[in-house]
Amino acid sequence: MSTSENTNTMTPTTTLGGFTVEPLVVPVSVDAADAADFVAFVAVRSAVEAELRGHAGEVMTAAELLPDWRDESRQMTGLVAKVDGRVVARANLALPADAPECWGAVSVLPGFRGRGIGSALFARLEELAREAGRATIQNQTTYPAGVGGEEVAAPTGFGSVPVDLASTRFLLRQGFTLEQVGRISALPLPVDADVLATLLAEAASAAAGYRTVSWQGRTPEEWVESIAFLRTRMSTDAPNAGIELTDVWTAERVRAVDDLWAESPRVALTSIAVHEATGQAVGFTELDGSSESDRPAEQMDTLVLREHRGHRLGMLLKLANLRELTARFPGCALVETVNAEENVPMLEVNDAIGFAASAFSARWRKRLDG
């Protein structure tokens, strides 16, 4: 039985000017004999992400990221570039099922830039996207605050991206257009107990007729269909500007992802808002935390259905989940989150809780069928 899988149909090795490009082999586990390239791939990703953000908040281990690469609801293709046998750059392409779009990313370590490695990797990603019949390739970059200089304004009217960034110059050269700017915010933990209690009481009062339900890890059976519905609505109800986002969830997919998460050192904390009159789950929020260290937790999706907004449910959900995080993982000292700059209501919730901007993100799009 094979212990690994090749994630694309590229020839084994392409030799270019002073470097090679190889398909990434995704191992069954990070302890497998053929896991070295995957571990190095993740190390490049984390090092460059920390550089772009200005801090190491989103450093992830290979064991934490491996389940994402085994998620059958989206095909993941990876490439590694090597110089003298060392992995110095990585690229990946995410191909959501039954979607016209895909997502590509390229990272090159600082000492190996300017050699054409990034351009070679992106050219191969674009070739793979076209072969898969995708009409659009999209990309998300991050950057620290305070860069300054000339900027590219987001078409939403909210936020801009500095031109004097290597990522901006690279994507513009490749034919991408900026679609949306997001704010990366951080919250030191624990939140003051009195502040948390006051905010919770105020939100609960405004949300009369609703209750919250929270859990760690696997989705309780009674809420599987609800989570599938809410995650699907996340792709249509959240502000996405000109970004294409196809993300359909079923109960089977929820269970499959639950199974993958069970293999990861990361742990998901989920809170939902339930409309008591109907018993319907009308909002949710998820936190992704580490069970093995005090590294930052990531605030993932938060959504309140449009027809139930105006009751401070977004605030209630985030506070309920933060309370769970503090109780279950007292060593966690920071939570990070990303929100579109035009998502003013959610940013106001974050500001009230104590989140502060730490960096920014940008989402880019390139048409492949034009």
Tell me the pLDDT tens digit for each residue of 328-359.
998 899 999 999 999 999 999 999 999 999 88
Residue with more model confidence, 52 or 134: 134
Domain 4-134 matches domain 190-332 at the CATH topology level: yes
Which CATH superfamily hosts domain 4-134? Gcn5-related N-acetyltransferase (GNAT) (3.40.630.30)
Backbone angles phi, psi at 11, to 5 degrees: -60, 150
Q: Averaged over 295-307, what is the pLDDT?
A: 91
Mean per-residue pLDDT of the chain: 90
Tens digit of pLDDT for each residue in 37-70?
999 999 999 999 888 876 655 568 899 999 889 8
What are the residue boundaries of the structural domains of the chain, listed by start? 4-134, 190-332
Binning pLDDT at 50, 70 and 90, where does residue 274 land? very high
CATH number of the structural domain 190-332: 3.40.630.30
Q: Which of 4-13, 91-100, 317-326 has the lowest mean pLDDT?
A: 4-13
- In the prediction, which pLDDT does 13 show? 66
180 pLDDT more than 70: yes
